[in-house]
Amino acid sequence: MGSMKRTVLQELISWRSSADRKPLILNGARQVGKTWLLQELARTGYAKEAYVMCRHNASAERIFKQDYDAKRMIRALSALTGIDITPGDTLIILDEVQEIPEAIEALKYFCENVPEYHIAAAGSLLGISIHQGISFPVGKVNIVNLYPMSFEEFLLAKGEDQMQILLRESDYSVINTLHEKYIELLKQYYYTGGMPEAVAKFVQTGELQKVRHIQLNILKGYESDFSKHVPKEQLSRIRMVWKSIPSQLFKENKKFVYGALRKGARATDFEISLQWLADAGLVYKIPRCSKPALPLAIYEDLKAFKLYLFDVGLLGAMADVSPAQVLIGESIFSEYKGGMSEQYVMQQLISHGKPHIYYYKTDDSRLEIDFLIQKENRLLPIEVKASGNVRSNSLSRMLRENSDLRAVRYSILPYKEQGQMTNVPLYAAGFA
């Protein structure tokens, strides 16, 4: 994974030199590259690295479970790692920190009592809420979220730096002339997705079956995590929700339907399972809002939502989408009722820091907008039109009724301004 350029690294470098630095939690699903990133930070910015894997580590458990004396803990970590931990030039890395909940609580005491030490923890904060008696160190940590690699990071991994710079600078006069090449790269990304191991394999060998094998192994790993971390009575429910995601996204109406899980299923039966998957960073819940007006949060409809997986490549692997379906022709953009494209756009928005995303649908279902986000004090309706046919009655009606509204439509057509609507090619999602 040596050549991976992760855009978050910049954020971590500024954390290192920040005057009000607190212990860092790098939060994200397993396998998205947290360990690699922290070790890269240590390699490039510190003289020493004191690395502790919290999983299956009885010595580490004893260190954190004894008491919260920060100086004692630092001495013990020095002894455990064999590294002379000194302030400022050593990065202490606590990996898979969710495995020792007391280690998370200890961060508070590191912050208050030994702020001169640099401490970074990596973990998926799943189940932190389930550990009784452990309080999360609110306000005493800096939290950075890590997501699968975005399309931008995929371009960098492939050595397509110039293509990435053009997108960054939104230089559409040049981008439009390279439209075919961008579409080609985007299809590759739909297949590989953003799990670093899958991307690395694809970049090094181009072997599609090996990439798929990696994806299926990652999915297997998550499923075995379920059985390790989840209360028994939730396990079958979590599996049901997890397995149903592709079929729910690949239908015309993408709203999540409990009845599709089993006959007579009710929301209350599945709330905890859904929350668990969301806390683990494995799914994103995009709620409906009942009115396209600011602030969106007050119009949130708590009962209706769309559920996305956190990675488009894993979605394809779960649904057993074949390489040929993705890479030949352009049907992948529109097939599955455009489900892969919606998943892709949602993922790019999230990884470019747009956390509050909604969708809009009228009660009579006559009007539907794929995504709505609030940008500064403006409402931005977003539509994902996967095929070349981009006419949408819902959006044009909304724009007709609100003359000061601007909207974005993502499709496989090149960039084009059309009055209130900006047509943005799918490969520029996250930049525009």
Cis bond upstream, residue 295 (ω within 30): yes
Share in percent of the chain as helix, strand, coil (round to 5): 50, 20, 35
Report the CATH number that the domain containing residue 112 is assigned in CATH. 3.40.50.300
Identify which of 354, 334, 351 has the alpha carbon closest to the alpha carbon of residue 412.
334
pLDDT classification of 128: cutoffs 50, 70, 90: low
Sheet holding 357-361, edge to edge: 300-309, 283-289, 357-361, 368-375, 378-384, 407-411, 421-425, 416-418
pLDDT per residue as tens digits for the range 398-430 = 999 999 999 999 999 999 999 999 999 999 998
Q: Are 202 and 192 in contact (CB under 8 A)?
A: yes
pLDDT classification of 126: cutoffs 50, 70, 90: low
Name 30's Cβ contacts closer than 8 Å, sequence gap at least 6: 124, 221, 222, 225
Residue located via tokens 């009579």: 364
List residues bridging with 368 in a β-sheet.
Answer: 361
Distance CA 159, CA 36 (A): 19
Residue located via tokens 């607190």: 22
H or E stretch including 110?
A: helix 101-113
196 domain residue, yes or no: yes
3 domain residue, yes or no: no
Identify which of 98, 57, 96, 101 has the alpha carbon closest to the alpha carbon of residue 77.
57
Name 219's Cβ contacts closer than 8 Å, sequence gap at least 6: 314, 317, 318
- Same structural domain, 141 and 167: no
- Same structural domain, 203 and 282: yes
pLDDT per residue as tens digits for the range 169-191 = 999 999 999 999 999 999 999 99
The reported pLDDT for the residue numbered 386 is 72
pLDDT per residue as tens digits for the range 29-42 = 999 999 999 999 99
Answer yes or no: is pLDDT of 121 > 70. Answer: yes
How many whole angstroms from its chain centre is CA 60?
29
**What mean pLDDT comes out for the span 108-117?**
98
Q: Are 189 and 219 in contact (CB under 8 A)?
A: no
- Same structural domain, 289 and 220: yes
- Same structural domain, 27 and 73: yes
- Same structural domain, 66 and 214: no
Domain that holds residue 287: 151-428
Answer yes or no: is pLDDT of 391 > 90. Answer: no
Answer yes or no: is pLDDT of 127 > 60. Answer: no
The top-scoring range by mean pLDDT among 309-323, 356-370, 397-411 is: 309-323
The reported pLDDT for the residue numbered 132 is 61
Q: Are 124 and 280 in contact (CB under 8 A)?
A: yes
The token pair at 343 is 């998943």
- Same structural domain, 202 and 304: yes
Name 391's Cβ contacts closer than 8 Å, sequence gap at least 6: none
Mean pLDDT of the chain: 93
The reported pLDDT for the residue numbered 375 is 84
DSSP state of 20: T
4 domain residue, yes or no: no
